[in-house]
Amino acid sequence: MNNEIWKAYSHGMAAALQEGGVHVSAMLLRTYRQLELSDTEAMLLLQIMVYMEADLNDFPTPEELADRMGISVREVGQMLGRLMKDEFLTIDEYVDSGSGKQSERYNWNGWLLKAAQLTAEQKRETRKAERQPMRNHSASSADLFSVFEQEFGRLLSPMECETITGWLDQDRYTDEIIRFALKEAVFAGKLSLRYIDRILIEWSRNRVTNADEARAHAQKFRGGRG
């Protein structure tokens, strides 16, 4: 009997893997209500992801979405309109490389960006309450994302926002040390999050925890190279 159960489980797992999957950031699920998305709107966005990533359908019709969710086409249309109006969802136009025809596809980067910004703001507020105010600095009160965008000379992508949020949330780097790492990247003329990440890892290995220690470490490193 146990052997039969195990065989059934194995077949079920194999079938599930063949069907493909969709990666959904926990950040999206934690914040969607705070972003004033309803359960149904969040599910609609998730179903669009499933169509694109698992079903290879970049632009499911309202009828297809309605059928999958068990709601009316009118409800789907209303929700799509609201999601696009509030910039959770956009429609991109592109030229299909295979057919050469003009095509459309959904883009949910707006949802990712809003969730990343909200998460970062919540982490900043928590850290601000847990520790003493940072030293006076002209940029200390500025939004961390805005500081990066100012230095990069462009808007950050959703993936870049997630990376910065990960530094704060998962790696536990302070706002102060991230700003100083950005300055080092500017000084080196290597404006990329990958380069900044290497700086932060190096400082973490050397137990650098604040801007003064980072400054001393950077000066020592430059002196060694010279």
Tens of pLDDT along 83-98? 999 999 999 998 887 7
Higher per-residue confidence, 142 vs 186 = 186
Q: Which CATH number applies to 120-130+140-225: 1.10.10.630, 3.40.50.720, 3.40.190.10, 1.20.210.10? A: 1.10.10.630
- CATH 1.10.10.630 domain position(s) in the chain: 120-130+140-225
Query: Exposed (0-12), middle (13-18) or buried (19+): which is 74, by Cβ within 10 Å?
Result: exposed
Q: Which two tokens stand for residue 218?
A: 């950077």
Angstrom CA distances, 132 to 126, 163, 212, stand at 12, 25, 16
Contact 147, 139 (CB under 8 A): yes
Residue type, 100: G
Helical (H) or strand (E) element with 177: helix 175-188
Q: Mapped to the 3 state alphabet, what secondary structure does 84-108 carry?
A: HHCCCCEEEEEECCCCCCEEEEEEC
Q: How far apart are CA 9 and CA 16, in angstroms?
A: 10
43 token code pair: 């599910």
In CATH terms, is domain 17-107 a member of 1.20.120.1630?
no
The pLDDT of residue 129: 63
- Residue 196: is its pLDDT beyond 60? yes
pLDDT tens for 49-75 read 999 999 999 999 999 999 999 999 999
Give the CA distances from residue 26 to residues 16, 29, 106, 204, in Å, rounded to whole numbers and listed in that order. 21, 5, 21, 26
* Per-residue pLDDT reduced to its tens digit, 29-39: 999 999 999 99
The reply to whether the predicted model has a pTM over 0.85 is no
List phi, psi (to 5°) of 90.
Answer: -135, 170
Candidate from 2-6, 53-57, 104-108, 198-202 with smallest mean pLDDT? 2-6
Distance CA 81, CA 98 (A): 30
pLDDT in tens, 134-175: 433 334 334 788 889 889 888 888 788 888 888 988 888 888
Q: Using CA atoms, how far apart are residues 178 and 180, in angstroms rounded to an integer?
A: 5
Tell me the residue ranges of DSSP E strands in 2-110: 90-95, 102-107
Is 83 in contact with 89 (CB distance < 8 Å)? yes
Q: Give pLDDT, residue 221.
A: 64
Q: Coil, strand, or helix at residue 195? A: helix
**CATH 1.10.10.10 in the chain, residues?**
17-107
